[in-house]
Amino acid sequence: MDTPLTRRGLMFVLSSPSGAGKTTITRALLKNNPGLEISISATTRQRRPGEVDGQDYYFVDIPEFNAMVENGEMLEHAKVFGNYYGTPRLPVDEALARGNDVIFDIDWQGTQQLREIARDDLVTVFILPPNAKELERRLRARAQDPEETIRQRMDKASDEMTHYSEYDYVLINNNVDMAIQQAQHILDSERLKRHRLSGLSDFVRGLKEGL
- Write down the mean pLDDT value for the chain: 90
**pLDDT tens-digit readout, 154-172:** 777 888 889 999 999 999 9
- Residue 90 exposed, middle or buried by CB count within 10 Å (0-12, 13-18, 19+): exposed
**Residues facing residue 172 across a β-bridge:** 128
pLDDT band at 186 (very low <50, low <70, confident <90, very high): very high
Tell whether the model's pLDDT for residue 1 goes beyond 60: no
In the chain, where are the structural domains located? 7-204
How far, in Å, are 71, 89, 125, 164, 181 from residue 175 at the CA level? 42, 34, 16, 19, 10
pLDDT band at 5 (very low <50, low <70, confident <90, very high): confident
Task: Name the amino acid, one letter, at 46.
Answer: Q
CATH 3.30.70.270 fits 7-204, yes or no: no
pLDDT above 70 as % of the chain? 97
Centroid of chain to Cα 189: 17
Look at residue 4 in the predicted model and tell me its pLDDT: 73
Q: pTM for this one? A: 0.84
**pLDDT tens-digit readout, 121-134:** 999 999 998 887 88
Q: Which of 55-69, 76-90, 132-146 has the lowest mean pLDDT?
A: 132-146
Mean pLDDT calculated for residue range 22-38: 94
Tell whether the model's pLDDT for residue 56 goes beyond 80: yes
